[in-house]
Amino acid sequence: MRSLQSFDGDGGARKEAAQAWSDFKDVRGGERAVASARYGLAFRGADAAAPAAASGALESRRALGLADRSGGSAAASPANKSKERLVEYSQQAQFVAGKSFFQNDKQWIDAGVQKHPDAKRVRIQFGSTEYFDLIAKQPKALPWLALGQNVQFVLDGTVYDIYE
């Protein structure tokens, strides 16, 4: 399974992503360069993922030229619409309890799943007796299960697939 599948067909957002990456590496002056630097620092100096993500989201919008100095939105234009879609794609990822998850349609998938292609797989229906047994036996999984009714994650070498 691949994450961000619709990104492949979104030429405008892909172009903006390439430009943003180039600017992040190469541009050293101006408001957008400062915002890019703040965006990177928000994550590198973070004590916790959630506040860093919130701060980083604002700085990434500034780096893309989507937020004015007060944090408000820039005027809508075709280029800005592509940038807005790029922001939406980036929000299809979450860092939860030490794991990175990517949203594929309605399912959140642990990035670590791809590293375990031959792992034992356990499929459990959300809300079933087996689901609550998993919670009782593996409380470490609670933050990941809180992502929703369709979650796939690796725990102790086993890939768990929670489905509606």
Q: Where are the domains of the chain?
A: 5-91, 99-163
Top pLDDT among 103 and 110 is at 110
More confident residue, 29 or 163: 163
Q: Which two tokens stand for residue 50?
A: 């959630």
The pLDDT of residue 69: 47
21 vs 141, more confident: 141
Mean pLDDT of the chain: 76
Residue type, 126: F
Of these ranges, 25-29, 33-37, 40-44, the one predicted with the greatest mean pLDDT is 25-29
CB 132 within 8 A of CB 141: no
Other Cβ atoms within 10 Å of 135 Cβ, number: 12
Query: pTM value?
Result: 0.56
- CA 6 – CA 1 distance, rounded (Å): 13
Question: Strand 107-110's sheet: what is its strand order?
Answer: 93-96, 99-104, 107-110, 151-155, 158-163, 120-125
* pLDDT tens track for 39-97: 555 555 545 555 555 555 666 666 677 765 455 555 566 667 777 777 666 666 778 88
Predicted confidence at residue 72, as pLDDT, reads: 53
Residues near 63 by beta carbon (within 8 Å), at least 6 away in sequence: 20, 23, 24, 32, 35, 36, 39
> Has residue 21 got a pLDDT over 60?
yes
For 116-145, how does the pLDDT look when each residue is reduced to its tens digit (9 = 90+)? 989 999 999 999 999 999 999 999 999 999
Cβ pair 139, 129 in contact under 8 A: no
Q: What percent of the chain has pLDDT over 70?
A: 56
Cα angle for residues 108, 111, 113 (degrees, 5° grid): 90
Question: What residue type is assigned to position 136 of the chain?
Answer: A
